[in-house]
């Protein structure tokens, strides 16, 4: 029971990291980033390639940054022309982009899954009674708490974070105050992709690498956002953890339903609280 819940918590953390990035981009950029899953895979594969040279910890920092560079180029040249247009178009664009990027990843790294080597000291259980508590899982939790905490601190206290939040609430007003909203959106997109990259490396360490690793995580991340409430970053994290744990527990007791259960939770939430758990009235409509 504890074991299953903990398994679910780790998966939920991946969902939460993905959902957080998606949610940021959804908020300020007004884009459902379908390619988020492939950016995540990109982060994982880059870290995989870099590991022999700079080690696991080096890759954990450098690979997401490289993914961000790709992300910024995408934002500048493909997504920026679509701001202010029907959201359908950015959706289709990132959708097509996801297909292209997945194919590119497959071409570079092959379509067969790869094991992602972790440092030995991370891979062994900490104690025999808590056999599921490997060092790596603690690292996953620690890094996620750190990154999420840093993100919320940036949003609350830094100038750019305050502007991102203000832009979320009212983009027109903030642009009339002379803030460069193009820069703001690019920065925001970059932060979102960084989170995807980190999630990709952590997930690779846990689940192994495959070109479609993002596919299995992006849909639950959408569900996490809906359950948590669109427009609430806290909600996305909460939603991710809830569905992760629910899915982990279901996997132990009723494995057939381990994926379906999160959609059932979503349906229930939508019926009882149409805005999601922490959602606010009127956002994005």
Residues that bind another protein (CB under 8 A): 26, 30-32, 34, 78, 81-82, 85-93, 95-100, 102-104, 107, 219, 222-223, 225-226, 230, 256-260, 263-264, 266-267, 270-271, 274, 284-285
| Burial call 49-80: b when 16+ CB within 10 Å, e when fewer | ebbeeeebeebbebbbebbbebbeebbeeebe
DSSP state at residue 23: H
CA distance 279 to 27: 12
Half-sphere exposure of 78 (CA within 13 A, CB side): 20
Show the CA angle centred on residue 15, arms to residues 13 and 18, nearest 5°: 110
Distance in Å, CB of 90 to another protein, minimum = 8
CB of 102 within 8 A of CB of 42? no
Distance in Å, CB of 94 to another protein, minimum = 9
Shorter beta-carbon distance to another protein: residue 184 or 265: 265
CA distance 28 to 181: 9
Shorter beta-carbon distance to another protein: residue 93 or 186: 93
Shorter beta-carbon distance to another protein: residue 206 or 258: 258
CA distance 151 to 158: 10
Question: How far, in whole angstroms, is CA 113 from its chain's centroid?
Answer: 21
Shorter beta-carbon distance to another protein: residue 86 or 177: 86
DSSP state at residue 255: G
Distance in Å, CB of 224 to another protein, minimum = 10
Shorter beta-carbon distance to another protein: residue 50 or 82: 82
Distance in Å, CB of 248 to another protein, minimum = 16
Shorter beta-carbon distance to another protein: residue 17 or 97: 97
Distance in Å, CB of 189 to another protein, minimum = 15
CB-count exposure of residue 46 (10 Å: 0-12, 13-18, 19+): buried
Distance in Å, CB of 8 to another protein, minimum = 16
């Amino acid at each position: 029971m504890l074991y299953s819940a903990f398994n679910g918590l780790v998966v939920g953390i991946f969902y939460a990291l993905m959902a957080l990035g998606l949610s940021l981009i959804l908020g300020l950029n007004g884009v459902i980033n379908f390619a988020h899953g492939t950016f995540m895979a990109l982060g994982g594969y880059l870290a995989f390639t870099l590991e022999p040279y700079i080690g696991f910890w080096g890759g954990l920092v450098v690979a997401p940054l490289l993914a961000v560079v790709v992300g910024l180029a995408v934002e500048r040249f493909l997504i920026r022309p679509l701001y202010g247009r029907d959201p359908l178009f950015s959706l289709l664009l990132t959708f097509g982009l996801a297909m292209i990027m997945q194919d590119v990843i497959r071409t570079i790294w092959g379509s067969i899954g790869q094991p992602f080597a972790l440092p030995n000291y991370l891979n062994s259980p900490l104690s025999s009674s808590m056999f599921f508590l490997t060092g790596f899982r603690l690292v996953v939790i620690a890094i996620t708490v750190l990154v999420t905490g840093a993100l919320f601190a940036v949003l609350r206290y830094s100038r750019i974070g305050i502007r991102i939040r203000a832009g979320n609430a009212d983009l027109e007003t903030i642009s009339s105050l002379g803030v460069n909203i193009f820069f703001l959106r690019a920065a925001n997109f970059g932060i979102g992709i960084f989170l995807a990259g980190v999630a990709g490396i952590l997930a690779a360490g846990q689940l192994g690498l495959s070109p479609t690793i993002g596919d299995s995580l992006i849909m639950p991340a959408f569900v996490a956002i809906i359950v948590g409430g669109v427009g609430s970053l806290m909600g996305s994290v909460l939603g991710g953890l809830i569905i992760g744990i629910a899915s982990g527990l279901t996997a132990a007791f009723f494995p057939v339903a381990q994926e379906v259960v999160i959609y059932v939770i979503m349906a229930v939430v939508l019926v009882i609280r149409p805005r999601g758990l922490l959602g606010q009235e009127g956002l994005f409509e």
